[in-house]
Chains A and B, each alone.
Chain A
Amino acid sequence: MRLHSGIRAAVALTATALLATACSSGGTSSEGETGSTGSGGKVELSFWTWAPGMEEVVAAWNAAHPDVQVTVNKQDGGDPAVTKLLTAIKAGSGAPDLMQTEYQKIPTLVSADALADIKGDLPGDVQSHFADGTWQAVTLGSDAVYGVPQDSGPMEFYYRADLFEKYGLEVPTTWAQYAEVAAELREKDPKAYLGTFSATDAGWFTGLAQQAGASWWGIDGDAWTVDIDSAATQKVAQYWGDLVEKGVIDNKPMYTPEWNAALNDGTQIGWVSAIWAPGVLAGNAADTAGKWKMAPLPQWEEGGQATGNWGGSATSVTSQSKHPKEAAEFIAWMNSSQEGVNILAQEGGLYPADIPGQAEALSEPPAFFPEQDDFYTIAAQIAQTVQPFTYGPNVNVAYSAYNDEFGKAAEAKKASAFTAAVTAMQTATVDDLKNSGFTVKD
């Protein structure tokens, strides 16, 4: 899956690090153009995705484009689909034409030559539809374009408004207040928790570190830098470690049956989550509809305005696609036309990355939050405060180190173990980069 020979690794790195993009992109797109002009007739595209609403948006496209028919192949979310794609790329066949690519996976896929540069196949104004930070995630700062952003996941704080009222709690605006409210709740109801530390959701912790100002990878000349073990990340780890050690928040992972039960019976009364939370709550705790509210994430400084991202994907064309031109047209339509964006938001419940389309697509609050009329107005303000963050080519390694190390730390309930876990993540990530043949600057 990862590159083995030093030479290939070096080539891949330069591709990522904007040096040799002209060479790789020219090759892919000219090859693609000859492929599609030669074929003529009906083009069939396969699309690996796990996002909701994709079948509806594809059905709308297929009805209007009889010559370019897209088929949705639902995949297991995130890591498994990427592993499968990388295996297919390595094997030389079996990859789909289109792939849902989470932002944090794009550097990995680009360094494995899995994604096609579609810059030449996109309408010229597509870039203007997206925030600079979002667009940067699909270009990696280079001249190439490895996909079109679909949705984003700015983080917010969700809480049970009815139970906050019952217990007489204030909605925290800083992390210091969050800790106080968490302790206060434990006194008023020893069974209830304000939240949990999830050692199985690396993306969640990454978003929190992003809010605090961390950026875990960086490109320095032709080398990668890794900055996981930074003051910002340590601050976040120390904070959550303290809360877990004192027992004021839970230490059980999210997305378990126990956690679902706790959302239902009101023993988890808050959730530090992202913009797509309404869909998850509606699925896992349908009976609590109308009882939740959304607020900005607590801040590290009074009056601060910062958040991180948890989730969000682009759609990319794979390097094995024989019809990159048609595939790119479909992606541009799906993720940046008003018609496509409306379906994404209304059928899929996604928070579209396309800024011009948001106003119309998100005119109603989510059905699960009928009381909060200004849900998407607040969300749009929060979305603008997402802090910059760069992902590296071995996010999978860092994330699995997170699961291992923080899993042990959360079990041990020691704040010192939380900060040690950050250091261990740094070591594992740097070692893996070096072993894979990348140059790493200390």
Chain B
Amino acid sequence: MTTTTSPALSVPVPHRAERAVRPARTHRERPSLWGTLILLVGAAYCLFPVLWVVMASTKSASELFSTFTLAPSTHLPENVVDLSQYRGGIYWRWMANTALYAGVGGLASVVVSAMAGYGLAKFQFRGKKAVFNVILAGVLVPGVVLAIPQYLLLAQVGLTNTYWSVLLPSVISPYGIYLARIYAAASVPDDVLEAARTDGAREGRIFTSIAVPMMVPGLVTIFLFQFVAIWNNFMLPYIMLGDDRLFPITVGLSGLLNQGASQPAMYTSVITGALLSIVPLAALFLTLQRFWQVDLAAGAVKA
């Protein structure tokens, strides 16, 4: 939070907000023993399942249930080969599908959120408050609840069981719009916009050349949020898709576990598949981390 802001953010507003926070923090420069301990326990709690997956993915099917849980084995390459050969490598198709849903859906969602958030933050128009309240209410409605109505609507236009059926509902993210509005309000000063207008820039130009660069850290946050949400989403694609060649990883792996009572569940392949599916997410977070200096606190205070 208090590290340097990105070069694009040469605007006074967020800095002011940071300075207000800083004096309180200087009192606590020495790390608290208890705080560190609690965080370590929390980290262990979160990382243990990952460790479990890593260890379990190295075991063969018979070792999985018979050897010590955290004892590693040597079968990871075979497990990956088995998974890759399952039904002609359909796992990698699921991986590509997931990347498509999350990547395209996340980007489209960022575009919509940025435009809507900027509009709500910087323009005065009739019904603005009502629109914003509806979006706020949308934040409170869990996406799972909407999956069935969305299915019925898309069925009417014959779009179920297509890529569109998963992409379209992912584009609108009330939370993303909400974040974008707060971020635009906090990081794009009205003075700059007015100066640009005085210089004769059109609104579209102001948005793309001035507002968007200022909002980049916030937009990266929205992208990551939405990307992870779509990547992990199960219910929506599960309901929408019947063709297993369109499945994302979540739905595909669930199918490997639920093959009916008369079939053995493919635990080893599911565990290996789960491990491989978090690799792109981890890579994405590590590369985009430097943008993740979202001063959400600043935005929240400002709003």
Interfacial residues, chain A to chain B (CB-CB below 8 A): 46, 48, 50-52, 55, 71, 73-78, 80, 84, 87-88, 90-96, 153, 201, 203-204, 255, 257, 260-261, 264-265, 274, 276, 279-280, 282-287, 310-311
Question: Are B263 and A283 interface neighbours, CB within 8 A?
Answer: yes
Q: Please give, as numbers and ranges, the residues of chain B lying within 8 Å of A274 by CB-CB distance.
A: 262
A359 to B263, alpha carbons, bound, how many Å? 23
Question: Are B264 and A87 interface neighbours, CB within 8 A?
Answer: no
Question: Are A91 and B151 interface neighbours, CB within 8 A?
Answer: yes
In the complex, besides A76-B258, A279-B264, A310-B261, 10 extra interface pairs with C-beta distance below 8 angstroms are: A50-B255, A73-B242, A73-B243, A74-B244, A76-B255, A87-B148, A93-B160, A260-B65, A283-B266, A287-B62
A282 to B262, alpha carbons, bound, how many Å? 11
- Report 23 cross-chain contacts, Cβ distance below 8 Å, ordered by A residue: A52-B263, A71-B243, A73-B244, A73-B245, A75-B242, A75-B244, A77-B259, A80-B238, A87-B239, A92-B156, A94-B151, A94-B155, A94-B160, A95-B242, A153-B262, A201-B261, A260-B65, A260-B267, A279-B262, A280-B263, A283-B264, A284-B61, A286-B61
Name the residue among B61, B65, B156, B158 with the largest chain A CB count within 10 angstroms. Answer: B65
> Closest CB-CB distance, A288 to chain B, in whole Å?
9
Q: Please give, as numbers and ranges, the residues of chain A lying within 8 Å of B4 by CB-CB distance.
A: none
> Closest CB-CB distance, B169 to chain A, in whole Å?
15
Name the residue among B62, B261, B263, B264 with the largest chain A CB count within 10 angstroms. Answer: B261
Q: Please give, as numbers and ranges, the residues of chain A lying within 8 Å of B267 by CB-CB distance.
A: 257, 260
Contact of B265 among A52, A153, A255 (CB under 8 A): A255
Q: Assuming A55-B87, A257-B65, is B262 touching A311 (CB within 8 A)?
A: yes
Name the residue among A77, A90, A201 with the largest chain B CB count within 10 angstroms. Answer: A77
> Closest CB-CB distance, A364 to chain B, in whole Å?
19
Interface residue? B152 (CB, 8 A): yes
A74 to B246, alpha carbons, bound, how many Å? 11
Interface residue? B254 (CB, 8 A): yes
A138 to B266, alpha carbons, bound, how many Å? 31
Q: Please give, as numbers and ranges, the residues of chain B lying within 8 Å of A310 by CB-CB distance.
A: 261
> Closest CB-CB distance, A315 to chain B, in whole Å?
14
Question: Are B65 and A264 interface neighbours, CB within 8 A?
Answer: yes
Q: Please give, as numbers and ranges, the residues of chain B lying within 8 Å of A203 by CB-CB distance.
A: 261
Q: Assuming A73-B243, A261-B65, is B155 touching A93 (CB within 8 A)?
A: yes
Question: Are B242 and A88 interface neighbours, CB within 8 A?
Answer: yes
Q: Please give, as numbers and ranges, the residues of chain A lying within 8 Å of B7 by CB-CB distance.
A: none
Question: Are B87 and A50 interface neighbours, CB within 8 A?
Answer: no
**Count of A-B residue pairs with CB < 8 Å:** 110
> Closest CB-CB distance, B236 to chain A, in whole Å?
13
> Closest CB-CB distance, A295 to chain B, in whole Å?
19
Name the residue among B62, B148, B158, B263 with the largest chain A CB count within 10 angstroms. Answer: B263
> Closest CB-CB distance, B33 to chain A, in whole Å?
38
Interface of B: prevailing SS: loop
A268 to B46, alpha carbons, bound, how many Å? 33
Q: Please give, as numbers and ranges, the residues of chain A lying within 8 Å of B243 by CB-CB distance.
A: 46, 71, 73
Question: Are A282 and B261 interface neighbours, CB within 8 A?
Answer: no
Task: Write the chain B residue with the least CB distance to A283.
Answer: B264
> Closest CB-CB distance, B220 to chain A, in whole Å?
35
Contact of A46 among B152, B238, B242, B263 (CB under 8 A): B242
Q: Which 4 A-B pairs have the closest CB atoms?
A: A283-B264, A77-B260, A91-B155, A261-B65
Chain B 7-25 near chain A by CB (<8 Å), digits 1 or 0: 0000000000000000000
> Closest CB-CB distance, A351 to chain B, in whole Å?
9
Within 33-68 of B, Cβ neighbours of A (below 8 Å) are at 61-62, 64-66
Interface residue? B109 (CB, 8 A): no
Task: Write the chain A residue with the least CB distance to B243.
Answer: A73
Question: Are B66 and A261 interface neighbours, CB within 8 A?
Answer: yes
> Closest CB-CB distance, B158 to chain A, in whole Å?
6
Contact of B61 among A52, A71, A90, A283 (CB under 8 A): A283
Question: Are A264 and B255 interface neighbours, CB within 8 A?
Answer: no
Q: Please give, as numbers and ranges, the residues of chain B lying within 8 Å of A52 by CB-CB distance.
A: 259, 263
Q: Please give, as numbers and ranges, the residues of chain B lying within 8 Å of A75 by CB-CB distance.
A: 242, 244, 255
A92 to B152, alpha carbons, bound, how many Å? 9
Interface residue? B277 (CB, 8 A): no
Task: Write the chain A residue with the least CB distance to B88.
Answer: A55
Q: Please give, as numbers and ranges, the residues of chain A lying within 8 Å of B265 by CB-CB distance.
A: 255, 283-284
Interface residue? B98 (CB, 8 A): no
Interface residue? B221 (CB, 8 A): no
Question: Are B254 and A76 interface neighbours, CB within 8 A?
Answer: yes
> Closest CB-CB distance, B261 to chain A, in whole Å?
6
Q: Please give, as numbers and ranges, the residues of chain A lying within 8 Å of B158 by CB-CB distance.
A: 93
A257 to B244, alpha carbons, bound, how many Å? 26
Q: Please give, as numbers and ranges, the residues of chain A lying within 8 Å of B263 by CB-CB distance.
A: 50, 52, 77, 276, 279-280, 283
> Closest CB-CB distance, B263 to chain A, in whole Å?
6
A153 to B262, alpha carbons, bound, how many Å? 9
Chain B 155-168 near chain A by CB (<8 Å), digits 1 or 0: 11010110000000
Q: Please give, as numbers and ranges, the residues of chain B lying within 8 Å of A80 by CB-CB distance.
A: 238, 258
> Closest CB-CB distance, B111 to chain A, in whole Å?
29
Q: Please give, as numbers and ranges, the residues of chain A lying within 8 Å of B258 by CB-CB distance.
A: 50, 76-78, 80
> Closest CB-CB distance, B8 to chain A, in whole Å?
45
> Closest CB-CB distance, A108 to chain B, in whole Å?
16
Within 111-149 of B, Cβ neighbours of A (below 8 Å) are at 148
A344 to B244, alpha carbons, bound, how many Å? 21
Question: Are B261 and A74 interface neighbours, CB within 8 A?
Answer: no
Task: Write the chain B residue with the least CB distance to A277.
Answer: B262
Q: Please give, as numbers and ranges, the residues of chain B lying within 8 Å of A78 by CB-CB distance.
A: 258, 260-261
A311 to B263, alpha carbons, bound, how many Å? 11
> Closest CB-CB distance, A101 to chain B, in whole Å?
12
Q: Please give, as numbers and ranges, the residues of chain A lying within 8 Å of B239 by CB-CB distance.
A: 84, 87
Name the residue among A46, A76, A279 with the largest chain B CB count within 10 angstroms. Answer: A76
Q: Please give, as numbers and ranges, the residues of chain A lying within 8 Å of B244 by CB-CB distance.
A: 73-75
Q: Please give, as numbers and ranges, the residues of chain B lying within 8 Å of A285 by CB-CB distance.
A: 62
Q: Please give, as numbers and ranges, the residues of chain B lying within 8 Å of A260 by CB-CB distance.
A: 64-65, 267
Q: Please give, as numbers and ranges, the residues of chain B lying within 8 Å of A276 by CB-CB distance.
A: 262-263
Within 263-282 of B, Cβ neighbours of A (below 8 Å) are at 263-267
A358 to B229, alpha carbons, bound, how many Å? 49
